Structure 1
Amino acid sequence: MSCDEKKDNKRDYDGCVCEVIRAVKDIQEHAVDEECPPCTSCFLEPLGELSSKSRRKCADTRVFMLITDDGTPFSAFYRDGDRRDHDCISVYFRVEKIFHGCCATLRVLEPKDKEGKEVDLLSASGTKIKLSQLCKVHDFDSTDSCITVDLKCFCAVQCIKDVFLDVCDCG
C-alpha cells in the first residue's frame, strides 16, 4: 500500500506505521519468555529477539527508524549528554507513549559505535544524514530528548535492535 492509498480508504484506518509502533509499544510493555519465531520483523516477540540469535534476557527497548515518503530516514535533534561535541542528530527512536490513535511521543536515541563512541550521522556539510554512517552504529544510549509525531506522516518503519537502556526494571 502506498502512502496515498490510505487517504482514499473508506474504512477507519490509521496506517501500517501506526500499527507497527503500537505493536512495538505493546511488546516493550509485555515482554515474556516464548519460543523464538522463525522470521524477523517489528512484530517479533518477545522483546529481545531482535538482539541476536541468543536472545537478550533484559531488553527494555525496541530501537526503530521511521522512513519518510521520499525514502529517507526521519531524523530529530537530541540534547547531547556529554556536551563535548555537537553530533546531536539521530534517526533512532524508542516509543514512549501513543495517544489520539496515531500520535506518539518518541525518545531520541544517541547512536554509538562498537567502542561506545557517538556516531556523527551528518554529512560533511552538516545538512543531511550520511547513510554510510548508519553502518557504523552498533549500540544506543537513551537521551532526555523526546519528540511528538503523527505516525500517519511516515511510509515505513524499520526495527533495528532490542537493547537495554535502563528505562524500566528488568529484574
Structure 2
Amino acid sequence: MGCNDKHSNSKNVGCVCDVVKFIDELQSACDDLTCTSSCLNPMLGMPSSGMRANTRVFSLYTEDGTLFEAEFLTTNCTRDSSEFFRVESVDDCCAVLRVLTLQDGSLGMCRFEKTDQCIIVDLNRFLAIACIEDTFIPGV
C-alpha cells in the first residue's frame, strides 16, 4: 500500500486516507503479535506496559505542513487541545477520530488516554500522517 500506487498528482491525495483505513482495519483485528512501531506494520505492536495494544496513536499534518490539533473539554470543563488521535471508523475518506491526551505515567513513561471528544475529518485534506506509538487504551 504505497502512497503513489493510485495517484498521479504530486499532492498524493488519498495517501493519508489509505493509511488511516489500514490502521482502522488493524485496530479492528487487534492481533497480539509483537512488532515495532510504524504506520504500515501489519499488526499492532506490544506496548511497554505489557498489555496487548488496541490502538495505533497518530498525528496528522495539514496541507500547509502544520500539525493538526483538535480541542476538547477536560473533566473540569476547561478547554484543551491535542494532536494525538485514534481512528474509530472510516467511510470512504471520511473518518471519525477520537482525540487522545498524553499523560505522565509512572516510572517516567508516558501514556495515552482517551477523551470523550470525537471529530469527523476529511482525510483528503491532510498532507502527512505520523504514527506515534502502539498502545493499550482502556475502554476503547
Q: CA RMSD in A?
A: 3.0
State the TM-score, normalizing by the size of structure 1: 0.66
Matched residue, 1:27: 26
Gaps of 5+ in 2: none
CA distance in 2, matches of 1:146, 1:7: 32
Structure label with greater radius of gyration: 1
User: How far apart are 1:45 and its partner, in Å?
Assistant: 3.2
Unaligned runs of 5+ in 1: 117-136
Residue 74 in structure 1 maps to residue 68 in structure 2:
yes
| Residues paired across the two proteins, number | 134
- Secondary structure at the aligned position of 2:118 is classed as strand
Q: CA deviation at 1:88?
A: 0.9
Find 1:93's aligned residue among 72, 85, 91: 85
1:47 to 44, 47, 51: 44
Q: 1:65 to 1:35 in 2, by over 3 A?
A: closer
Contact kept? 2:37, 2:45, Cα under 8 Å: no
The 10-residue stretch of structure 1 (24-33 or 141-150) with the greater mean CA deviation from structure 2: 24-33
The alpha-carbon deviation at position 8 of structure 1 amounts to 4.5
TM-score, scaled to structure 2: 0.79
The structure 2 residue matched to 1:163, chosen from 115, 135, 140, is: 135
Q: 5 Å matches for 1:108-123? A: 108-114=99-105
Percent identity between the aligned chains? 39
